[in-house]
Homo-oligomer: A and B are copies of this chain.
Amino acid sequence: MDAAEFRRRGKEMVDYVADYLENIEKRQVYPDVEPGYLRSLIPEEAPLEAESYEDVVKDIERVIMPGAASPACTELETVMLDWLGKMLKLPEDFLAGTEGSGGGVIQGTASEATLIALLAARSKIVKLIQTDHPDRSETDIISKLVAYSSDQAHSSVERAGLIGGVRMKKIPTDSKFSVRGAALQKVLEEDRAAGLIPFFFCATLGTTPSCAFDCITELGPICNAEKIWMHIDAAYAGSAFICPEFRPLLNGIEFADSFNFNPHKWLLVNFDCSAMWVKKRSDIIGAFKIEPLYLKHDHQESGNQSHWQIPLGRRFRSLKMWFVFRMYGLKGLQAYIRKHVGLAKEFESLVKADQRFEISADVVLGLVCFRLKGSNELNEILLKRINSARKIHLVPCQLAGKFVLRFAVCARTTESRHVREAWSHISHLASELLQELRH
């Protein structure tokens, strides 16, 4: 949708809202739909081709309004997470369908998804151990638990351990910044020997520093054999898995207990919208469910996503997904991902063609890690100059002791000319800096 259409559609929507407010007393206070009413009103999958705005918006009265905010909010969310799961070709286990035991839910951010997964895993292992040892207290068991992640994992993973009150250990990565099976196995053996209880591994697909991928085809079988909950955090990279050529990066997902990525990062859904799936809904619900009388209702068993998250209140975020998926279509979204990856590759070529620079990590998706050949100090000065000039903004990272600049293609409107301008700007600032240093 271009700005001109946005002006027209936005104003129509303002009128829709005003009409709603002016006529609210004509609407029914409480919906009379049955649980599950919504699924049969819309297709089972996201459309391949883009639909028109008219088609989407006219479905609001047909699909949403009869179910008001509740249950429409919960039901559309469940179906949208199924749509998105199918777009990613998630194993059937992760989908809710009408009879599945898995399913998806929208969290605010990947931080919350990781925490929820860790808490569910903690609750599950405590119950499991107490089944065999009914005398063992929860606090005693928790004091022995240990969770793991990559040494490249996002800070939110460490924070989840802090909040959950469990030990969190970082597994060293290989030369590609990826956790391999052997590295995890080694730590597990040491920890078991020390009397600890490994219970949770958070794998990262697309790390924040360099977009590296943990080797989940090796890690998954180990976690399954050792009864360790494997959560996969693909916050940024997950969106790319809707393209067949990037889907192999998700191979091994079949071993995971939970999976999360942020459509608000790279799938054109506005912040916040973090999509989380679990194989067994009962694992999550069991960790959080507390039900006083004022939250009871006639359809207790039909799903209440408050048990899947920390807040009780919920916003109607699945509407954003429904609009975006239909207005772009799967093909449109794939084209968007491919365009960004293409732009990152273009930037990579520009860097590679300049002998003063080096690429610091494989360019797999939309992130290019690069640096001037030379000291960390040199690169720190370059970054400072780039950011002080305020034409572009780069965020650095440390990779194997090296200070590295990160060029991330992430805005909806980025074109080749922006990438070329950015490179020319960086290259110019580097020339200035190197020349000064020669004098």
A191 vs chain B, min Cβ distance (A):
15
Is the CB–CB distance between A313 and B17 below 8 Å? no
Q: Which residues of B contact A398 (CB under 8 A)?
A: 293
Q: How large is the interface on A (under 10, 10 to 19, 20 to 34, 35 or more residues)?
A: 35 or more
Interface check A112, CB cutoff 8 A: yes
Is the CB–CB distance between A310 and B310 below 8 Å? yes
Beta-carbon contacts of A13-48 to B below 8 Å, as 1s and 0s? 111011001101000111010000000000000000
Interface check A323, CB cutoff 8 A: no
Is the CB–CB distance between A158 and B290 below 8 Å? yes
Q: Which of A180-216 contact B (CB under 8 A)?
A: 208-209
A-B contact pairs, 17 of them (CB 8 A): A6-B21, A7-B14, A7-B15, A10-B11, A10-B14, A10-B17, A13-B14, A28-B390, A111-B310, A112-B310, A139-B142, A142-B165, A156-B312, A271-B313, A272-B311, A293-B397, A294-B396
Interface check A392, CB cutoff 8 A: yes
Q: Which residues of B contact A331 (CB under 8 A)?
A: none
Q: Which residues of B contact A294 (CB under 8 A)?
A: 208-209, 395-397, 406
Q: Which of B29, B138, B391 has a CB less than 8 Å from the CB of A390?
A: B29
Residues of A at the B interface (CB closer than 8 Å) are 3-4, 6-7, 10-11, 13-15, 17-18, 21-22, 24, 28-30, 32, 108-109, 111-112, 115, 119, 122, 137-140, 142-143, 154-156, 158-159, 162-165, 208-209, 264, 271-272, 287-288, 290-295, 310-313, 315, 387, 390-393, 395-398, 406, 413
The complex places the Cα of A312 from the Cα of B391 at a distance, in Å, of 26
Is the CB–CB distance between B115 and A139 below 8 Å? no
Q: Which residues of B contact A295 (CB under 8 A)?
A: 155
Q: Which residues of B contact A138 (CB under 8 A)?
A: 165
Q: Contacts A11-B11, A165-B142, A396-B294 given: A18-B3 contact, CB under 8 Å?
A: yes
Q: Which of B7, B272, B387 has a CB less than 8 Å from the CB of A30?
A: B387
Is the CB–CB distance between A311 and B109 below 8 Å? yes
Is the CB–CB distance between B108 and A313 below 8 Å? yes
Residue among A165, A293, A312, A393 facing the most chain B CB atoms (10 A cut-off):
A165
The complex places the Cα of A24 from the Cα of B111 at a distance, in Å, of 30
Nearest chain B residue, comparing its CB with the CB of A390: B30
Q: Which residues of B contact A312 (CB under 8 A)?
A: 109, 111, 155-156
The complex places the Cα of A32 from the Cα of B413 at a distance, in Å, of 23
Is the CB–CB distance between B32 and A390 below 8 Å? yes
Is the CB–CB distance between B272 and A315 below 8 Å? yes
The complex places the Cα of A295 from the Cα of B24 at a distance, in Å, of 46
Q: Which residues of B contact A287 (CB under 8 A)?
A: 162
Nearest chain B residue, comparing its CB with the CB of A270: B315
Q: Which residues of B contact A108 (CB under 8 A)?
A: 108, 311, 313
The complex places the Cα of A398 from the Cα of B396 at a distance, in Å, of 56
Q: Which of B7, B32, B155 has a CB less than 8 Å from the CB of A292?
A: B155
